[in-house]
Structure 1
Amino acid sequence: MTFQDCFPIWDRLDADQQARILGNLAFRSVGKGTILHNGNADCTGLLLVKSGQLRAYILSDEGREITIYRLFDRDLCLLSASCIMRSIQFEVTIEAEKDTEIWVISPEVYQSLMEVSAPVANYTNELMASRFSEVMWLMEQVMWKSMDKRLAAFLLEEAAIEGTSALKITHETIANHLGSHREVVTRMLRYFQSEGMVRLSRGMVQLLDEEKLRRLQDDRA
């Protein structure tokens, strides 16, 4: 799979624009846990995922994390090039959740293309709107959803991503995704276990009753 296969608007660029991108393109293979971008002062470039999984999160003054979105194969991360989008005022960290292969597009080259190419500008605006929608959805969850519903939704999402109901994940990691404390997550998981929805073991959460978790997630009460 080549960069040309993965970049959504490749065929809408002219030959010169394509050559400029390829001439300023870097390919990286990074291990799980690698920090690829760390805050506004770090203008890494645009990250296009070839394979693997990335996580974008923000960090509170108290050191608590909360995931704002995740990136999978063929996804493009704009916030890692926040220096070309002056309106972005919050600090975002991008971390590899799994061993990942990415292409890094030069921020200077991409910004110059945005200025002359309507397809690039339109695509960028659409992607930013999509990311903004994800952040707004997250805010809605944090403000209006109880912790048990958010945790149920996260476990179901994680099972769908991993393709298994046996999740190798720590309580600390779940807390970081949800912007909560490990103790809160542990207490809630123990409640789920008492209700027969999960089974807990060291570094593992086994989903036993996904339908019950789904009903909890969807319960509006």
Structure 2
Amino acid sequence: MSTDALPATLPALYPILAALPEAARQRLIERARKMQLPPGTPVFDERQSCQGFPFVIDGSIRVVKAAPNGRELPLYRVAPGETCVISSACLLGHTPYNARGITETDTTLLVLPSADFQALLAEPAFRDFVFQLFSERIADLMQLIEEVAFRKLDQRLAALLLGKGQRLHTTHQQLADELGSVREIVSRLLKNFAAQGLVALSREQIEILDPAGLRRVAGG
């Protein structure tokens, strides 16, 4: 990739680049491959080999763990200025992906090939950046494990609704996807919430009527 093709927003999104020696930064610029993907495009899938280290310039990637029955558990999202800890782990361990990444919107990526990623790990600033990423994502994943293991689905649904504002424009399927559940269960819980006067339901819209009541449900 030439310097002219380098997105102008890249240094602002990834300040780590300014801390790299000129030779290392130039290697990244020359070797990174730009990808522009529409929504719903698989970026990687389980058991695929990892081809590179992604920098998200625009859009977002949803990373999920899929079960054989088709259900998915959302793990995290990768937004501009972030990168993917599963990709990092696969590159460091020379192992295939163990999750799936899908674009949520029009997404622009810079993908640094595996060999260049390994070479940049010799630079302390880049190595610190990668391990800081691990620290942050592991904390997020531990919170997710705690949510799934120790909180009932109605508590998690109530907390999810409270985090989206008074009026939500969403479908029951989208909420189920976010919770790693199935639409039928989420619909049943929402109907229970509506019967209690906590929410009002209409087509692809949920209005929160009793935030205090939802907070009590979320708190168990």
Do these two structures clear the TM 0.5 threshold for a shared fold by scoring above it? yes
Q: Which residue of 2 aligns with 1:124?
A: 130
Cα gap change, 1:195 to 1:88, in 2 (>3 Å): farther
Cα gap change, 1:90 to 1:156, in 2 (>3 Å): farther
Q: Which residue of 1 aligns with 2:196?
A: 195
Cα gap change, 1:214 to 1:106, in 2 (>3 Å): farther
**Shift, 1:150, TM fit:** 0.7
Q: Secondary structure at the match of 2:65?
A: strand
Where in structure 2 are the equivalents of 1:97-116 lying within 5 Å?
97-114=104-121, 116=122
Query: Quick one: distance in 2 between partners of 1:97 and 1:36?
Result: 11
Cα gap change, 1:165 to 1:71, in 2 (>3 Å): farther
**Shift, 1:113, TM fit:** 0.8
**Shift, 1:206, TM fit:** 3.2
Query: Quick one: distance in 2 between partners of 1:120 and 1:61?
Result: 37
Does residue 1:156 correspond to 2:157, yes or no? no
CA deviations over 1:122-172 (Å, ceiling 9, x no partner) = 221121122122111111111110111111222233x2xxxx544332222
Query: Quick one: distance in 2 between partners of 1:185 and 1:196?
Result: 17
Unaligned runs of 5+ residues in structure 1 are: none
CA contact (8 A) 2:62 2:104 kept: yes
Query: Quick one: distance in 2 between partners of 1:211 and 1:49?
Result: 38
Query: Quick one: distance in 1 between partners of 2:95 and 2:147?
Result: 22
Query: Quick one: distance in 2 between partners of 1:66 and 1:99?
Result: 22
CA deviations over 1:151-203 (Å, ceiling 9, x no partner) = 1222233x2xxxx5443322222222212122111101111222333332233
Where in structure 2 are the equivalents of 1:20-169 lying within 5 Å?
20-86=27-93, 91-114=98-121, 116-157=122-163, 159=164, 165-169=166-170
Query: Quick one: distance in 2 between partners of 1:152 and 1:8?
Result: 37
- Calculate the aligned-residue CA RMSD, in Å: 2.3
Q: Secondary structure at the match of 2:93?
A: coil
Query: Quick one: distance in 1 between partners of 2:212 and 2:57?
Result: 33
> Which AA in structure 1 matches 2:142?
M
Unaligned runs of 5+ residues in structure 2 are: 1-7
CA contact (8 A) 1:24 1:109 kept: yes
Q: Secondary structure at the match of 2:74?
A: strand
TM-score of the superposed pair, with normalisation by structure 1: 0.85
Query: Quick one: distance in 2 between partners of 1:69 and 1:100?
Result: 16
The farther-off stretch of 13-22 and 128-137 is 128-137
CA contact (8 A) 1:52 1:98 kept: yes
CA contact (8 A) 2:88 2:130 kept: no
Kindly name which structure, 1 or 2, has the bigger radius of gyration based on alpha carbons: 2
> Which AA in structure 2 matches 1:85?
L
The alignment covers a number of residue pairs equal to 213
